[in-house]
Amino acid sequence: MAIASADSTSSSTAQSGNIGVGFSIPINDAKRVAREIIAVGPATHGQLGLSVCDRASGTSSGFTAGAEVAAVTQGGAADEAGIKASDVITELGGRSMTDASELSAAAREQAAGASVKVTFVLGGQQQSTDATLGAATAG
């Protein structure tokens, strides 16, 4: 865990200390990464092979939560699973997605090669498919 702190200076009017922002990594994610590093060296993270965006206000897409697929990488996990641009991903691995950032984080929490259920909306109809995630190597 890391906690952001304000800078301290020698000035008598300066303040320092915790500013109330914390960062942490879920233990199950840390354990998976540690096991992978020990077993094979570099750790990997799952990758769907697409770019997503949040719902743009004023659009007629009709969705309020999820991540709209802007583009799909040819041959990537999303492409192989049949996901197309303009689909709206609402769940990944049983976890509800509220926006594009949450989807990106959820995919990266998985190991490369993991199979996850993806729920998405296509033409107003909810559909599900399994996707085998590609690899994004951690640097």
128: pLDDT strictly greater than 60: yes
**3 close to 18: Cβ distance less than 8 angstroms:** yes
pLDDT at position 80 is 96
**135 close to 112: Cβ distance less than 8 angstroms:** yes
138: pLDDT strictly greater than 50: yes
pLDDT at position 114 is 92
- Residue 64's pLDDT band, with cuts at 50, 70 and 90, is low
13: pLDDT strictly greater than 70: no
Position with higher pLDDT, 17 vs 52: 52
Mean pLDDT of the chain: 82
84: pLDDT strictly greater than 60: yes
Q: Is 44-137 in CATH node 2.30.42.10?
A: yes
Q: Where are the domains of the chain?
A: 2-8+17-40, 44-137
Structure tokens, 78: 């999303």
Structure tokens, 37: 């590093």
Query: What is the spatial distance between Cα 44 and Cα 33, in angstroms, rounded to a whole number?
Result: 8
**134 close to 49: Cβ distance less than 8 angstroms:** yes
Position with higher pLDDT, 10 vs 54: 54
Of 43, 50, 56, 1, the C-alpha closest to 23 is 1
71: pLDDT strictly greater than 90: yes
Position with higher pLDDT, 10 vs 89: 89
**134 close to 47: Cβ distance less than 8 angstroms:** yes
- Residue 18's pLDDT band, with cuts at 50, 70 and 90, is low
118 bridge partner residues: 92, 129
Structure tokens, 82: 């049949």
Instruction: Give residue for tokens 């699973």.
Output: 81
Structure tokens, 91: 């769940």
**102 close to 108: Cβ distance less than 8 angstroms:** no
